[in-house]
């Protein structure tokens, strides 16, 4: 039953209004969007012809509440390619609905973005991973989604995408191949991996029993974001690349004394941001090499 309680708090009209507002404030027409994970706002440093718009000034936009998430959109160019960077993302544990968490993704789509690069900080579950490794996400586990915390729950607006989207190819194989080729060329292969990211709601880090369970389920890393954004991006036909920086090893062992904390996560993110930035800059410059497959279910792209 469609009630006010379960209807989406961000309607197509809300998205349209925000998109029109942004298009009237910037001359940039980005084709690539980058979501910066915790402590990874530095990724936007290499943007030229920069224009910064703060979240608090954008109609309907949530605001960032987590340290390491600056709270602004950075428009500009990287090697001639028009981009927008989200310096600061939104999380379920901040108290936002998943509709709000993923609102920017739909705005990017309506602005004409074709490819979204989602980055995050995560804890390594795979025993071969080291702190500072970069994991190219090949798949995810939507744990909150199993419990009904899913950004596509509620009435489906066909203008964004179809009711039952396929998720078996959420992370573009071609984009993954391109980024892996680039990391080999840059000499980064010894710390770049591929793996499965699992989302938990947070805000607490995992207990050891939970971490063991996630590992048994096939998760290589765990974090509190990304999956809702990727799900909505795939729903509206964006091409997705996901990069996860392993900022800590998740303990699977009761005898280990290390305790993870957000400060450590931010510290490692900042240490590795430059490498990630080199990968991203080369990737963005070459992403047009990968053909845009319009597996687009969204019938209103580029019409705002």
Ligand X SMILES: O=P(O)(O)O[C@H]1O[C@H](CO)[C@@H](O)[C@H]1O
Residue 44 designated active-site: no
Cβ–Cβ under 8 Å, residues 7 and 156: no
Site for ligand HPA, rule CB under 6 A: 121-123, 205-206, 222-224, 247-248, 250, 260, 265
Cβ–Cβ under 8 Å, residues 197 and 227: yes
What does residue 12 show for φ and ψ, rounded to 5 degrees? -55, -40
Question: Catalytic one among 248, 251, 269, 297?
Answer: 248
- Show contacts with ligand X in window 160-219 (CB under 6 A): 202
Is 210 marked as binding a ligand? no
Instruction: Supply the minimum distance, in Å, between the C-beta of residue 81 and ligand HPA.
Output: 29
Instruction: Supply the minimum distance, in Å, between the C-beta of residue 137 and ligand X.
Output: 12
Residue 20 designated active-site: no
For ligand HPA, the closer of residues 223 and 228 by Cβ is 223
Which of 3, 11, 43 lies closest to 272, judged by CA?
Answer: 43
> Is residue 223 part of the contact set for ligand X (CB under 6 A)?
yes
Q: Quick one: what does residue 248 bind among ligand HPA, ligand X, none, with the CB cut-off 5 to 8 Å set by partner type?
A: ligand HPA
Residue 97 designated active-site: no
- Count other Cβ atoms within 10 Å, centred on residue 11: 14
Is 90 marked as binding a ligand? yes
Q: Quick one: what does residue 250 bind among ligand HPA, ligand X, none, with the CB cut-off 5 to 8 Å set by partner type?
A: ligand HPA
Cα–Cα separations (whole angstroms), residue 162 to 220, 235, 297 = 30, 7, 6
Cα–Cα separations (whole angstroms), residue 82 to 47, 146, 186 = 9, 36, 23
CA distance 299 to 2: 23
- Going residue by residue from 116 to 155, which x/- string records binding to ligand X, judged by CB under 6 A? ----xx----------------------------------
Which of 133, 87, 47, 107 lies closest to 238, judged by CA?
Answer: 107
Q: Quick one: what does residue 138 bind among ligand HPA, ligand X, none, with the CB cut-off 5 to 8 Å set by partner type?
A: none
CA distance 142 to 94: 18
Which of 239, 201, 8, 264 lies closest to 108, judged by CA?
Answer: 239
Residues near ligand X (CB under 6 A) = 37-38, 66, 89, 91, 120-121, 202, 223-225, 262, 265
Annotated binding site for phosphate: 38, 69, 89-91, 121, 225
**Which residues are part of the catalytic machinery?**
38, 69, 91, 93-94, 121, 224-225, 248, 262
């Amino acid at each position: 039953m469609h009630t006010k309680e379960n209807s989406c708090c961000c309607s197509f009209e809300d998205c349209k209004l925000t998109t029109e507002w942004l298009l009237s404030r910037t001359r940039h027409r980005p084709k690539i969007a980058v979501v910066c994970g915790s402590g990874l706002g530095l990724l936007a440093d290499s943007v030229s012809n920069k224009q910064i718009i703060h979240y608090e000034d954008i109609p309907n936009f949530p605001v960032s509440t987590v340290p390491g998430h600056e709270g602004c959109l950075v428009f500009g160019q990287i090697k001639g390619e028009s981009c927008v960077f989200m310096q600061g993302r939104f999380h379920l544990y901040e108290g936002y609905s998943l509709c709000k968490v993923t609102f920017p993704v739909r705005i990017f789509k309506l602005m004409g973005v074709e490819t979204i690069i989602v980055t995050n900080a995560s804890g390594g579950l795979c025993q071969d991973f080291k702190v500072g490794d970069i994991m190219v996400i090949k798949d995810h586990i939507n744990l909150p989604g199993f419990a009904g915390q899913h950004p596509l729950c509620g009435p489906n607006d066909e203008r964004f995408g179809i009711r039952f989207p396929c998720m078996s190819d959420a992370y573009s194989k071609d984009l993954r191949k391109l980024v892996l080729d680039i990391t080999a060329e840059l000499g980064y292969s010894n710390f770049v991996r591929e793996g499965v990211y699992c989302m938990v709601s947070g805000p607490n880090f995992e207990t050891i029993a939970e971490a063991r369970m996630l590992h048994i389920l096939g998760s290589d890393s765990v974090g509190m974001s990304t999956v809702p954004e990727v799900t909505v991006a795939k729903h509206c036909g964006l091409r997705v690349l996901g990069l996860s920086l392993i900022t800590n090893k998740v303990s699977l062992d009761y005898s280990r004394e290390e305790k993870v904390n957000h400060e450590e996560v931010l510290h490692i993110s900042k240490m590795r941001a430059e490498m990630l930035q080199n990968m991203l800059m080369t990737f963005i410059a070459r992403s047009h090499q990968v053909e845009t497959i319009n597996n687009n279910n969204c019938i209103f792209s580029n019409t705002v």
